[in-house]
Structure 1
Amino acid sequence: MKKKKEKWKIFKLYLWKKIRDSKIRTKLYLYLVLSVLIIGGVIGTASYYQMRRELLHNAEDTVISFLKHAGNRLDEQMKAFQMSAYSFSADSEVQAAARDTAEKSKWERTLEKNIVSTAVSQYGTLYRYSDFIVMQKNNGELIWNDEGLSQEKAEELIQEGGRLLEDVQAVKWCRIGGRNCLVRRITDTGGKNRWKQNGLLVIGVKDALFEVGEESSAYTKNENLVIAGQDGSIYKESTVQPESWDIREHLGYKNGKYYVYAMHEKYAEKSYLVVPLKTMEMRMNLVCIIPYHLILDSLSHVVKFIVAVTLVLCGLGVGAARILYASMKKNLVIIENGMQAYEAGDYSRLQSPACYDELGLLILQFNHMGMEIQRLNELSQKEEQEKQELKYQILETQINPHFLYNTLETIKWMAYEKEEKEIVKLSGAIIRLLRFTVKNVNKMIPLREELSYIHDYVTIQKIRYEDAFKVQYEITPEAEAFYITCFVLQPFIENSILHGMDISTNTGKICIGAFVKEGVLNISISDNGIGMSEEVLQKLEEKISGNRLEEYRGFNGVGVTNIILRMKMTYGKEFSYEFHSKEGKGTTVLLKIPKGDRADETGFDR
């Protein structure tokens, strides 16, 4: 059992996986067909049971109405038969024959029988429904016996009838020897002893008396009706009653009132509608037994109709699935072609959806995604190109020939006008500067080495401009040990000297400060020069925002814009800068450099 459950579980998982991984078309067919089957099944089942209830209810009403009419008719027929029997027993010749106790000859007895036979034929109801008549005098002599009955059988009927008839009863319906009978006393109706019994009359009753007749219908007919007396004696049996059925369960109504109701019984796995009724006059019990299949046969046509409608709806569902899939397929093909183009690296192709459903909107999103990828690719290529250009610029950069020419010209004049000490000082600064430039290209260095390089550069510029400016350093020890990319500060110092200050006044001042806060190196470079206008600052920001490299004819060919772009590419969004300047009040540059080595991302090697 456990293995079967495991196999069934594995099969369900396998089936679910097959459905899940199947094509959209198959899923649409399956889902729509299942939806139709479920909806059709629910509606069909509800309709079936509703019609079933209606049919049973209608059958109950029909049977109840039938039993009321059949009960009235049975009462009338039994009363009429009973009255005919009374009239027969009250006939003067029958009375005389019953009172006469003298012995008679054979001829006299034959004459007596003829008198009785003539009396029987005079009473139509009795003649129509009587099967046999047995008549006995008080002395026990049989004065009438139908030819169909033997003497022995007639005596047995008279004996049993007399036993069943109680002292106070004049008439009784009963079953004797498997036959329906009416037992009646023959009383003296004309004498002084009016209720004196002169004899006993046993009349056999034909089954026709208990038949339904014209009241029969599809549900209510003789085969379905059981008629029983108050003692449970069955006068008429049903041909459809179950073997285990007991009519006594349906006898004994409240005070003998004209009361009827319906019950649903089950015998031997078969269901029956059972409706009992007790007549008002004769107190006879009528029980109608109808198998469910007689009532529900018409439902078979309904079931066939529901199945046919469900199959038609399934066909329509499959057709609807084909139409839906056909409309979806166009967009699916467009998406597939777009994905193939993206896989090949072509992000510029724009797809036009066949219809603007969810898949159509997805195609528009694919278009947007493709354009964004294309833009990012172009931006990435542009940044890579700029990185390479900046790398080559730094690798290929040398001291500007104009600068060397001016410097050597200065050395020439100083050698002419001054002593050797100044020449040695200037030459030493140039040599250290050139050595630093060649040695530290593409490296991350401590800030102290960058400041040493700046010191030599400032020495050269101060000699060149005859100490027209001063440089002040405010560097914390922690900042000195902070690693940064090389050649960061020089373009800002050079910009302050060449463009920011009025050399002729000999009052120029440059302040370089650095400290570390929360792992970020904060560098400030300020001067007291002529400053920049708002327009110049805006143009500078536009160059930086547009990632535009500039051709700069300075000491190493790298300007302020190039340095900012280089720092952004090296450190990313964690790097920030600020320019503060006003005309006539100098310029201040603030740099915030994060800790860490990201030079490998820019193409620079440590």
Structure 2
Amino acid sequence: MAPTLTRIINDMKLRTKLFVSFIFVVFVPVLIVGLFLTVQLREMALGNAEEQTAADIQRVKVRTSELLNVAYDSAYRLANDSRLERIVNRKYETVYDVVEAYRSYPDFKELLRLYKEISGIRFYMDNPTMLNNWEFLQPDKQIMDAPWYRSAQYTSPGIVGWDYIKDERDGKMYLSLVQKVSFYKEQTSGVLVININMALLNSILKQETFDTMIVDDNGKIIASNRAGWNGSTLDDIGMDRRVISETEGIFRSDVDGQASQMLIEPLIPKSSYNSLRIVSVLSIGSAVKDANRINRLALTVVSAGLIIAILLIYAVSTILSKRMLKLSKHINKVATGNLEGALEIDGKDEIAQLSRQFNAMVQSIQSLMTEVQESNRKNMILESKQNEIKLKMMASQINPHFLFNTLESIRMKAHLKGEREISQIVGLLGKLMRKNLEAGRRKTALSDELTIVRCYLEIQKFRYEDRLHYKLEIDPEAECAGIPPLIIQPLVENAVIHGLEGKEEGGTVTISVQAEGDRVHVSVADDGTGMGREQLDKLRGTLDAAEEEEQARIGLRNVHTRLKLSYAGNPGLDYDSIPGKGTKVRFTIPWGGDADEV
């Protein structure tokens, strides 16, 4: 699974990777957190609204109870008033007696004056001698058939009822206390009705934030802070029928076409055979309005941030893609072999650093190619010189004159002395010829080179007899050192021919090889005629000339050139000469013969 995912990611383009990373690292977490916070904020707002509604309902309950208690206390006082009993049970003979009796009982008016919570008091009594006025009324058939009146008739004394009824005197609806008042002495009874001040009751509800109402047992809305709801039923405002009959609790229901949450709190007045309910309707939309506004604002800000982030990612990915494409094109250009021109990518980021490293690599490649080309050129020249030295040693150094003199000497010796010495010289000549023919290898041991030198000197000693002497001062440790072939023999030949041949008494050639540290020092010295400064300078100029002349010192120049080509930084041959004293030529190579080799 992991390798597959890694391969899929690696196959994506850089821009796609950035967008996918943004989606999973930023967008998805922000979306999840946003949804979680939105839900939590809505729930918190709804919970706070519920707590506030519950507190409001309790406040309404307390204040409404205080309002109802005023009516209850007044009813209790009137139900136990003996004067009221005498007035309603007296048989009046004249109208004057009735008026005087009513005038002598100002208690109804006094209660209305003392308590603003009460808006009206009336007493229903079946006494044909009484007259109907604003306070004392004869119940007609409509009144006696009213549910509230009949309920009062069948209740026990001292038990009250609360009903939403119309006052026939002004035609308005009131929440009224209805109580049966029994007069035991007279064996009669009447019905006391005390109207609650509806303006005061509505004012209590209007102080609440949410829609709040007082409902009776029949679902009739007695008072409400919502215009148009008074006198309606819960069914009229679209409340769920399953909730209408509930007396207490928290319920979800559509009210007036809106999803709402309802809190129902029972209100049971003292000594009442029925009860009221306080219903608070919490519109969920209104409760979470601020939360929704905050969520919309947050959504707007987050969306703007995400859009800006997407634009930035697009811009950054475009810049990165262009720079990477530029780098890719330059790499392809270099891959085709075009190393000209440097890659120019500004900045200090990884791509710029990669471009600088790539430029450095290209420069290194160019340098290496230049070095390789130079090395190949030198190797070609060196190979050419190696072939040239073999041919020229065969054709020039072992020239017809040398062979003629050697063969002449062999002939004379053969004539005078016999075959032993002739055989030795011929053996040396053959060995020398074989060593020269084997000189095609790039490197040879110093001991093999010295063998050639000894052969050559022995042949020359056969020629010059006592005029030629030689010494070999060889450090045994240096004999295994690697050295270019035919590098010492041309120097010895030059010492014999140019140093001693013109000296009648002859001389000595000294070959010295010494190991010192990681270097091998080689010198060839003679005590012959030597050279003056002018001749020595001319020789040095010939060695360093770009082109060699036909009759130039072929062997010396070849050795000098091969030393410089074979070892980086090698100065070649170094000459010292004193006229009449002799000449010394020396050179130095690294131990092993290849430490500094090109």
| Structure-1-length-normalised TM-score | 0.57
Superposition RMSD on alpha carbons, in Å? 6.6
Aligned to 1:468: 469
Question: Matched residues in 2 for 1:145 and 1:88: separation?
Answer: 19
Report the alpha carbon displacement of residue 380 of structure 1 after superposing the two structures with TM. Answer: 1.4
Q: Given residue 370 of structure 1, which amino acid in structure 2 is its aligned partner?
A: V
Aligned to 2:531: none
Aligned to 1:506: 508
Contact 1:524 1:590 in 2 (8 A): yes
Q: 1:499 to 1:43 in 2, by over 3 A?
A: farther
Q: Given residue 85 of structure 1, which amino acid in structure 2 is its aligned partner?
A: A
Aligned to 1:89: 79
Contact 2:161 2:177 in 1 (8 A): yes
Local SS of the residue matching 1:508? strand
What's the CA shift string for 1:364-394, capped at 9, x where partnerless?
Answer: 4333332222221222122223223322332
Contact 2:180 2:191 in 1 (8 A): yes
Which of 391, 401, 411 does residue 398 from structure 1 map onto?
Answer: 391
Q: Given residue 96 of structure 1, which amino acid in structure 2 is its aligned partner?
A: R
Once the two structures are superposed, the pairs formed by residues 275-424 of structure 1 within 5 Å of their partners are 288=280, 290=282, 292-325=284-317, 327-328=319-320, 330-353=322-345, 358-396=350-388, 397-400=390-393, 401-405=395-399, 407-408=402-403, 411=406, 414=409, 424=423
Aligned to 1:562: 562
Aligned to 2:433: 434
Which of 474, 484, 497 does residue 488 from structure 1 map onto?
Answer: 484
Once the two structures are superposed, the pairs formed by residues 5-24 of structure 1 within 5 Å of their partners are 20-24=10-14
Report the alpha carbon displacement of residue 588 of structure 1 after superposing the two structures with TM. Answer: 8.6
Question: Matched residues in 2 for 1:30 and 1:218: separation?
Answer: 52
Aligned to 1:220: 210
Q: 1:441 to 1:502 in 2, by over 3 A?
A: closer
Is 1:75 the counterpart of 2:75 in the alignment?
Answer: no
Question: Matched residues in 2 for 1:150 and 1:362: separation?
Answer: 103
Contact 1:181 1:202 in 2 (8 A): no
Question: Matched residues in 1 for 2:336 and 2:51: separation?
Answer: 79
Q: 1:353 to 1:127 in 2, by over 3 A?
A: closer
Aligned to 2:131: none
Q: Which runs of 5+ in 2 are unaligned?
A: 127-136, 164-174, 218-222, 225-232, 254-258, 501-505, 527-545, 578-583
Q: 1:267 to 1:508 in 2, by over 3 A?
A: same
Contact 1:145 1:151 in 2 (8 A): no
Q: Given residue 222 of structure 1, which amino acid in structure 2 is its aligned partner?
A: T
Once the two structures are superposed, the pairs formed by residues 511-522 of structure 1 within 5 Å of their partners are 511=513
Question: Matched residues in 1 for 2:150 and 2:321: separation?
Answer: 98
Local SS of the residue matching 1:366? helix
Aligned to 1:456: 455
Question: Matched residues in 2 for 1:583 and 1:280: separation?
Answer: 140
Q: 1:340 to 1:119 in 2, by over 3 A?
A: same
Identity of aligned residues (%): 15
Report the alpha carbon displacement of residue 77 of structure 1 after superposing the two structures with TM. Answer: 1.6
Local SS of the residue matching 1:506? strand
Q: 1:402 to 1:200 in 2, by over 3 A?
A: same
What's the CA shift string for 1:177-203, capped at 9, x where partnerless?
Answer: xxx996868599xx9x9xxx9979686
Report the alpha carbon displacement of residue 347 of structure 1 after superposing the two structures with TM. Answer: 0.2
Q: 1:211 to 1:553 in 2, by over 3 A?
A: farther
Q: Given residue 387 of structure 2, which amino acid in structure 1 is its aligned partner?
A: L
Report the alpha carbon displacement of residue 592 of structure 1 after superposing the two structures with TM. Answer: 3.9
Question: Matched residues in 1 for 2:23 and 2:511: separation?
Answer: 88
Contact 2:514 2:522 in 1 (8 A): yes
Once the two structures are superposed, the pairs formed by residues 244-283 of structure 1 within 5 Å of their partners are none
Report the alpha carbon displacement of residue 275 of structure 1 after superposing the two structures with TM. Answer: 10
Question: Matched residues in 1 for 2:192 and 2:463: separation?
Answer: 163
Q: Which segment drifts farther, 235-244 or 331-340? A: 235-244
What's the CA shift string for 1:52-76, capped at 9, x where partnerless?
Answer: 4874586468547744653453134
Question: Matched residues in 2 for 1:398 and 1:434: separation?
Answer: 12
Question: Matched residues in 1 for 2:212 and 2:57: separation?
Answer: 12
Contact 2:439 2:485 in 1 (8 A): no
Once the two structures are superposed, the pairs formed by residues 144-159 of structure 1 within 5 Å of their partners are 147-150=142-145, 157=152, 159=154
Q: 1:319 to 1:126 in 2, by over 3 A?
A: closer
Local SS of the residue matching 2:487? helix
Q: Given residue 371 of structure 2, which amino acid in structure 1 is its aligned partner?
A: L
Q: Given residue 371 of structure 1, which amino acid in structure 2 is its aligned partner?
A: Q
Local SS of the residue matching 2:398? helix
Report the alpha carbon displacement of residue 26 of structure 1 after superposing the two structures with TM. Answer: 4.5
Question: Matched residues in 2 for 1:475 and 1:245: separation?
Answer: 127
What's the CA shift string for 1:128-184, capped at 9, x where partnerless?
Answer: 589x98889xxxxxx98784454998676555545xx6xxxxx66789xxxx99686
Aligned to 2:168: none
Q: Given residue 374 of structure 1, which amino acid in structure 2 is its aligned partner?
A: Q
Report the alpha carbon displacement of residue 346 of structure 1 after superposing the two structures with TM. Answer: 0.7
Number of residue-to-residue matches in the alignment: 499
Report the alpha carbon displacement of residue 431 of structure 1 after superposing the two structures with TM. Answer: 2.5
Question: Matched residues in 2 for 1:204 and 1:489: separation?
Answer: 143
Contact 1:134 1:158 in 2 (8 A): no
Q: 1:148 to 1:508 in 2, by over 3 A?
A: same
Contact 2:152 2:161 in 1 (8 A): no
